Structure 1
């Protein structure tokens, strides 16, 4: 029986800031008489019901050209009038995204009262802009099977570089996932609602946990390259254009849900043999939306309001409640395999948007979006919270940030039930037919990360992570499992933005001068257990202690201002465009304090300090668009531009934060020491306040190595910053992008675009421990174990590994500087993208394409000078460490294929629709824990960290081992029922129709003959979803 939980109410708001590279479509053209002579002074009007002012007008200039800008997506009628000539109307002009529609006219001599109406196909090729943009209409988004979320839409755009792993899973509910363009920074993608960036104030500032409901969007436009002065970054931007109401009351109600009996299984015997003991599964999903819009006063004040309730329950693959949870006498993980751990998340969202035509030339938008999440549950069923533990015994935790994963026991799961909010006000003034003024201000506030689970009994327990160097049969068989105690946060961030612009338009020219500003606030407070300790075990045997200094609070703020001037100049069949943008960005840190705590018995207070003192950049962007044959059906586009790394509370903007520079770092100030539990009581019988090595085994105690950093918590900065990276002209991290493409109309209402794109990044940072140099490291090699799963069966030599000389272990004084101080580092990408868009009149709509390319990274010259370099995950730099030697990364071509479309069978009103995507799996590692005994044979001495230490060596180079390719096909069949002005769609969606069991995440801890590459999560199995939408 179908088990829904609840349906309620939808949308997530949509916003109102036409400023950045968002949907501001245009209509342009040239007017002539029947002899071919240009006609100045022709009045051109564009009318559409999507405009609250109903009509926008322009006048042809001396060259006969006109241009009408700042038009919302919709269908327009263009009317041409001039005394002495017949009136001409062009109907059915469809505008999407930032598309520029070329609408030319030839006027015949006659009276104004005489009119000619022409209905033809709307242009599909943009011959006047170098911006590459893929636009998806709102009705198509409602027709195809998706999660009605922005990231589900992003995954269908071929030019986007998506993340491998769980981010490639079937999208069931909205998720916060960073994305970027091929060869760019992984977090450079922007998510905007009507022009406002709703990203968080940190981690690149591009995305956040903000829930944008594309099910109530007018359209979604994805710009991948070719941005002019309005664009700060060179990566992709997804802009959601909202519905705004109108002069007619209209609304939508949507219900959709999945029950456990509607979910199949893709678990096979082969997967069980490969090491996946229990797969995860979707248990329940629901989505209920309601939206209504209309006039409060016709042609004067419109409203659009939405409400939404949605969520999901999901079992966690291979994770079970810990039978020892909450027991301070138990130190190992004991899975209760009678019940599988579950994750839960839900959101309740309400929005209101008002559009006011205050005067004939002045329009205001006001927007409020309130969102209340409920991620996770209370620890027990008798504790109050937004969700209680079920009495059934299945432990429910959070699926959100810091929530349950395949390497976390349920007692470590987070909880979150605190609101996030977006608020905006914008103003638009058409001063004249040629002068447009715009201004706006917006705020996005959010709480991120897990908070303390209500009823949490683990505060008095020490957190343990199982390293599993030789399998972990003695401790749960789950590599890298964290258990026993939770960490949690109390974090707030605020994104405050404002902008203003002036656009001056003639027929041949479109000039815009604009300003953008922002204030980004990041306040973090981190917590751990009462002891401020964490242990690491190897197959149940202690080998490392982590000492923390919590709680402590971080304050960091970023400010930026930008001015830009851009110009489009059309003459004959060519449009030249260029822009120059000036950016000024800086950061600072209000008063902060670290300590006191039990392992940091003193406190250190830091007064307000500056971070980035001032990045100043002038970035040029140029391009040319050419109507090849003058028919408006073939366009050649070429562009070149310099773009910047986004200003946010991350990367260079926060490296001078004094708390980040105190030993231990920003997220959780901590240091480690190797530990031998000689007496086997799981208690470190050493003086943990003594930073030096101790051997108390003779007295019944333990062996504890010295602290990994002797300056832990002291106002002695372990990180010093090269002043050259903190301010100045032209030194902010940036990238260049080049593109050339051809767009061709192949059939009426169908176009194909093929392009070549190249990007290269500059200004990389590295961390150099100046207390050591390259000669202070011993280089060594190991032999990979023989194993048929390794390349060539293993047995090969892995060289280029480093270990610091023992006398300098723990001696740290880091200098953060640009890589070119030490040698050459580069990241370059080349790719080809093809997009197909068809919206033919027989009811068939299709969009899709192919993206294939490669990215090469190299930092070998720098590593030779700075052997201690560490980048834990691949991104702008390849994954690297002293024992992960692959300083050159060129894994080869990566190809994405995507497509989605719909077809309405005439007369019977039956809708068929579907989506397809094929994504390359991720680059995999073979993390082999090398004991001191093995390393010592190569080094001729013990490892610097001590005889009980070990190091982790990746045995495979990037691109040698890949994860499964993810091929997902989703389909929908729906019957359309019409009753008067009401349209009802009753549909059945089938996700992962082919029931692919592609592996998303793997155990990458290598043990000879062990569970290396054992699956830890799969693509969600095939499931059916029943949905109904009512439009009235």
Structure 2
């Protein structure tokens, strides 16, 4: 395998060759997207159903028209239609007028009901009407949000899929993305008390979820490659394995007409404002977080290779993002070293912002897509995507100066081939193969940093000098087989069957090395301990097999969906070798690991049930409910990782820094066994020379489980307006962790502690922590966390007005209450340590964001309100706006305890029950104005977007340690107001 740069160059060349191949007549084809259905009922003028009507659907993304014949109930169904397109549906029956319905829109995951009434006629007459599909989907069971081109392009946004998640009811994000300032990194998000590991990403039907960074996307996207998006937050049918958020991305495709678009968007600090006040500067935010410059440009287009037989589509885009980060300074004369430097307070805002380093991200994206009709009823498809990312300073923050950040590199190819065959008007089948290459690196800023010891202050959280480096390889290969069959007039109603099999092979390997093999750690500047590391080199194999079956039964006003899904997940640790720590090889020797298998395989059956009732038979008011059981998706190593001794291992000893140079020398470290402060879980300090592991996995281990019940009422106010009200209940259980063997609750004793707090601390109470009266054992066992459950209760209300009469509006409110419950100490702590138990038991669940460049954010908002709308003013001027307001996230102030006996280390003592202390409420408004000039089918649009209209400067993060010199110092604020200029050409 070549270097990352060689892979990047090879990817660009392959993309160019593939595109040229398409243009000269090669026929790779479009991958099948997540699709929608057209369904309906045909009757005569008296209302009696008409069997035998020939129904034809054409246009849209169909190379070849499809036909169906109504059954005894007068019903028909066209499944698997590409969304984001409008179709024409024709109804024909001898002795009746032909009816043609135009502009039938299909949305991803939706059922577009298109009914027809045929009148008797002796002549061959045709009636043509324009469709306006019902805004309430009578067959819908889950809670889903669809985003069309109108919402993607005309509503102001940072132009990435994660900002669409931000608009979705009930989803809370871990960051504020002002004008694309955060688009260089994936945003984290939480919905309905779930863990992020159960989120799912699909690109044109391909599962591209990163199985190792479980729940994340494997790639970044060209926003203009998207035709439509659907985001599912609950009531997932059998096609989705988990109960997490499901994101379906539908890309554009070719047609019999040449079409395309190009754009250029420009944002610059000269178009921005300043939201940094002297009050914030006095609280530690010496600088702001300005957008320095963002460029977003690209082109996409497609058309016929052979009209009526083969199409192509392709795109290219680049995002060049340069932003400043609070207190992330350049190391040059006239600039402060850090936020504590007096210069940081004395310099004016403009000067201090000039001192900020540039956090740079460059995203390149290529797409090649095509489709070919091989023979009647059979379409072959192909889609290739090449996504590359370079970031110069990942994890940049006030506590991670430039030399401690990562250089991130990693090109990723995604390929999919599929074949779809229409056997008849009721039976469709598809076979698909996909490959996603998921390699990237988080590299030292300088290779020499491999031999430089990082310096870390436990009080302030600040790092200096160096950090670590990791490289990952995460390819994914999948095979999907699906079939649908429509069976009308059976058991008093119609049946739509769906059956499928999925296979996914997701191996993962990674290596990690640590600067200098040791971290020099101080506490508020005082030398405290040396944390020694052994490098990691892990390789895992993992496979997932899934089978599902579902029947959607409709009879008069009733729709019943029943399904079952089976998933089998298995992993193993493969052989690998790591070298000894270079400073203390007697404590951290080299290991040649032979591999291991836990013997545990997760085999889970997941029932799904949904029922909908058209209350008045008009399709305007639908009451529906769903019941689902979901099981988690696991990462490679989730089962066998406990048995793997070549994952990262560490041990900490007291360090006195006798010569005052802030570097660890061995003669400054107490290396006695009795002096061990703490050690990692895959290592036993009582037998450090042992080259295997004494860890085990419980043979009865269960997969994490989610039980969900929803109840919803949808009501159509007018043909273009609807409201919806939902109640959601979820129960989470069977979590797992590595529990220490040989210790229990009886081995812990309370210690009263009076800390010394900083002047900025609002209070400094006497605290209690627990420490063991024996040494923490080294042996672990992977078990379920008995007695630990989580309950969620939520309410969601939505109002939808689709685009008509010159305006559209989406508005939603969500109430969320996610509570952690610990019925026993066994499920709370892997070592049975009761410290903080009462702080968390019975209180809010809030996962701490810890990846993608954001940390110290505890995502939990009980109340969220969001609104987005568009108005088309005279002279083809589009006005758009979004607004959101939510509770501030948790602000869990804490104090780091002293090092405890028995190698228990220090522990953060949280001062208040989780959820009682929060940051100020967060609110944000964006606005947009655009003028379009049309020339037939072509148009040119100029636009101006205003982000953070009111220039809010809400504090997002602070230093939580109340005993630190920097206690409560502001470490993150919202980026200031900024304008974006854009031009878009459509042809």
Q: What is the TM-score when the length of structure 2 is the normalising length?
A: 0.88
Q: Does the residue aligned with 1:141 lie in a helix, a strand or coil? A: helix
Asked if the contact 2:159/2:180 (under 8 Å) is kept, the reply is no
Q: Does the residue aligned with 2:804 lie in a helix, a strand or coil? A: coil
Could you say which residue in structure 1 is the equivalent of 2:63? 52
Could you say which residue in structure 1 is the equivalent of 2:808? 845
Q: CA deviation at 1:51?
A: 1.6
Could you say which residue in structure 2 is the equivalent of 1:653? 639
Correspondence 1:355 to 2:389: no
Taking the aligned partners of 1:1017 and 1:499, their CA distance within structure 2 comes to: 44
- Using a 3 Å threshold, how does the CA distance of structure 1 residues 738 and 281 change in structure 2: closer, same or farther? same
Asked if the contact 2:315/2:366 (under 8 Å) is kept, the reply is yes
Could you say which residue in structure 2 is the equivalent of 1:191? 201
Q: Does the residue aligned with 1:994 lie in a helix, a strand or coil? A: coil
Could you say which residue in structure 1 is the equivalent of 2:876? 909
Q: CA deviation at 1:1017?
A: 1.2
Matches for 1:680-691 after TM superposition, within 5 Å: 680-682=660-662, 684=664, 686=666, 691=671
How well do the aligned residues superpose, as a CA RMSD in angstroms? 3.1
Asked if the contact 1:177/1:207 (under 8 Å) is kept, the reply is no
- Using a 3 Å threshold, how does the CA distance of structure 1 residues 333 and 714 change in structure 2: closer, same or farther? farther
| Equivalent of 1:518 in 504, 513, 526 | 504
Q: Does the residue aligned with 1:142 lie in a helix, a strand or coil? A: helix
- Using a 3 Å threshold, how does the CA distance of structure 1 residues 228 and 931 change in structure 2: closer, same or farther? closer
Could you say which residue in structure 2 is the equivalent of 1:458? 449
Taking the aligned partners of 1:991 and 1:365, their CA distance within structure 2 comes to: 40
| Equivalent of 2:133 in 110, 122, 130 | 122
Q: CA deviation at 1:528?
A: 2.1
- Using a 3 Å threshold, how does the CA distance of structure 1 residues 571 and 190 change in structure 2: closer, same or farther? same
Taking the aligned partners of 1:318 and 1:804, their CA distance within structure 2 comes to: 39
Please list every run of 5 or more consecutive structure 2 residues that lacks an aligned counterpart in the other structure.
Answer: 1-11, 20-27, 345-351, 489-493, 846-859
| Equivalent of 2:712 in 741, 753, 764 | 741
Correspondence 1:929 to 2:896: yes
Q: CA deviation at 1:209?
A: 4.9
- Using a 3 Å threshold, how does the CA distance of structure 1 residues 684 and 535 change in structure 2: closer, same or farther? closer
- Using a 3 Å threshold, how does the CA distance of structure 1 residues 533 and 630 change in structure 2: closer, same or farther? same
Asked if the contact 2:520/2:663 (under 8 Å) is kept, the reply is no
The one-character-per-residue Cα deviations of 1:865-897 (angstroms, maximum 9, x if unpaired) are: 957358xxxxxxxxx967995333237971121
- Using a 3 Å threshold, how does the CA distance of structure 1 residues 359 and 887 change in structure 2: closer, same or farther? same
Q: Does the residue aligned with 2:825 lie in a helix, a strand or coil? A: helix
Could you say which residue in structure 2 is the equivalent of 1:289? 298
| Equivalent of 2:164 in 128, 153, 156 | 153
Q: CA deviation at 1:252?
A: 0.6
Taking the aligned partners of 2:902 and 2:513, their CA distance within structure 1 comes to: 31
Matches for 1:354-753 after TM superposition, within 5 Å: 354-376=370-392, 398-399=393-394, 403-453=395-445, 455-468=446-459, 479-507=460-488, 508-529=494-515, 531-550=516-535, 552-598=536-582, 599-600=584-585, 602-611=589-598, 613-649=600-636, 652-659=638-645, 666=647, 668-682=648-662, 684=664, 686=666, 691-692=671-672, 709-710=684-685, 711-712=687-688, 714-717=690-693, 719-725=695-701, 731-753=702-724
Could you say which residue in structure 1 is the equivalent of 2:242? 233
Asked if the contact 2:881/2:928 (under 8 Å) is kept, the reply is yes
Q: CA deviation at 1:154?
A: 0.9
Q: CA deviation at 1:555?
A: 0.3
Asked if the contact 2:880/2:928 (under 8 Å) is kept, the reply is yes
Q: CA deviation at 1:721?
A: 2.0
Please list every run of 5 or more consecutive structure 1 residues that lacks an aligned counterpart in the other structure.
Answer: 1-7, 325-329, 377-397, 469-478, 661-665, 695-702, 726-730, 871-879, 933-941
Taking the aligned partners of 1:292 and 1:226, their CA distance within structure 2 comes to: 36
- Using a 3 Å threshold, how does the CA distance of structure 1 residues 557 and 783 change in structure 2: closer, same or farther? same
Q: CA deviation at 1:366?
A: 0.7
Taking the aligned partners of 1:788 and 1:841, their CA distance within structure 2 comes to: 58
| Equivalent of 1:814 in 764, 776, 780 | 780
Taking the aligned partners of 1:373 and 1:126, their CA distance within structure 2 comes to: 39
Asked if the contact 2:43/2:50 (under 8 Å) is kept, the reply is yes
Q: Does the residue aligned with 1:371 lie in a helix, a strand or coil? A: strand
Q: CA deviation at 1:971?
A: 0.7
Asked if the contact 1:244/1:303 (under 8 Å) is kept, the reply is yes
Which deviates the most, 714-723 or 58-67? 714-723
Q: Does the residue aligned with 2:443 lie in a helix, a strand or coil? A: coil
Taking the aligned partners of 1:691 and 1:367, their CA distance within structure 2 comes to: 57
Q: Does the residue aligned with 1:416 lie in a helix, a strand or coil? A: strand
- Using a 3 Å threshold, how does the CA distance of structure 1 residues 885 and 655 change in structure 2: closer, same or farther? farther
Q: Does the residue aligned with 1:292 lie in a helix, a strand or coil? A: strand
Could you say which residue in structure 1 is the equivalent of 2:251? 242
Taking the aligned partners of 2:86 and 2:672, their CA distance within structure 1 comes to: 75
- Using a 3 Å threshold, how does the CA distance of structure 1 residues 899 and 649 change in structure 2: closer, same or farther? farther
Q: CA deviation at 1:175?
A: 2.7
Q: CA deviation at 1:760?
A: 0.7
Taking the aligned partners of 2:246 and 2:552, their CA distance within structure 1 comes to: 21
The alignment of Structure 1 onto Structure 2 pairs a total of residues equal to 927
The one-character-per-residue Cα deviations of 1:320-361 (angstroms, maximum 9, x if unpaired) are: 24579xxxxx99998996732221111122111011111121
Which deviates the most, 601-610 or 413-422? 601-610
Taking the aligned partners of 1:117 and 1:894, their CA distance within structure 2 comes to: 50
Taking the aligned partners of 1:620 and 1:212, their CA distance within structure 2 comes to: 33
Taking the aligned partners of 2:509 and 2:790, their CA distance within structure 1 comes to: 32
Asked if the contact 1:975/1:987 (under 8 Å) is kept, the reply is yes
Correspondence 1:100 to 2:54: no
Q: Does the residue aligned with 1:459 lie in a helix, a strand or coil? A: helix
Matches for 1:623-1022 after TM superposition, within 5 Å: 623-649=610-636, 652-659=638-645, 666=647, 668-682=648-662, 684=664, 686=666, 691-692=671-672, 709-710=684-685, 711-712=687-688, 714-717=690-693, 719-725=695-701, 731-782=702-753, 794=763, 796-799=765-768, 801-805=769-773, 808-820=774-786, 824-863=787-826, 868-869=831-832, 886-890=840-844, 894-906=862-874, 908-931=875-898, 943-944=901-902, 951-1007=907-963, 1011-1022=966-977
- Using a 3 Å threshold, how does the CA distance of structure 1 residues 739 and 78 change in structure 2: closer, same or farther? same
Q: What is the TM-score when the length of structure 1 is the normalising length?
A: 0.85
